[in-house]
Chain A
């Protein structure tokens, strides 16, 4: 069992570039989440999904889009990256009360 994996681990973008972060889980969990973690602000929920084909906005969704075409994958897209999106991005999955987190993606936008 790999649990929750995220690719890539690190990425540097220039302002205006686009990219997609991939989250994959092999635990057959229904719920998946994308968070960002910034210094002094804790983790904030960007988008989440309660099942294949469904997505919903979290606390800070602006500038991001998501897709959940397959149950095991949850993609986070940045269409036009901005320096304010420099952060560490965490994906999590859950079945019931416990969320299982991936190792994170460190994104820098110059």
Chain B
């Protein structure tokens, strides 16, 4: 059974800092990996999707990497802003599973002024 772990569970950084969020998964037979953002009391918004054949994806100040063989992904946020404060979740899709996702428990990020 696929298990997805995110460390740390919570993180507080001052504005302007670069930061890295970690995601690890136990079964390397994944189809893709996604990073989502969740604001308090809201649904999830997809940030980046990395296919199993890719090593990284970038969108603005966000960069996600994938190392399938070691079962790890990182989300790098450059020059953090207070508006980045949210919970970040990673999710993996297993090959051939009707697009079903297995989610990590998330990292709650707070960017302070």
Contacts and interface: CB of A to CB of B under 8 A. Distances in A.
Report whether over half of chain B's contact residues are helix, strand or loop; otherwise say mixed.
strand
B4 A99 contact: no
Contacts of B89: 42-43
Given A41-B105, A101-B44, A102-B43, A48 B98 contact: yes
Interface residues of B, number: 23
A103 B34 CA distance: 19
Contacts of B100: 33, 45, 48, 58
B32 interface: yes
Which secondary structure dominates chain A's binding surface? strand
A32 B100 CA distance: 10
Given A40-B105, A48-B98, A97 B44 contact: no
A98 B46 contact: yes
A97 B64 CA distance: 16
A96 B42 CA distance: 23
Interface of A: 4, 31, 33, 35, 40-45, 48, 50, 56, 58, 90, 92, 94, 96-104
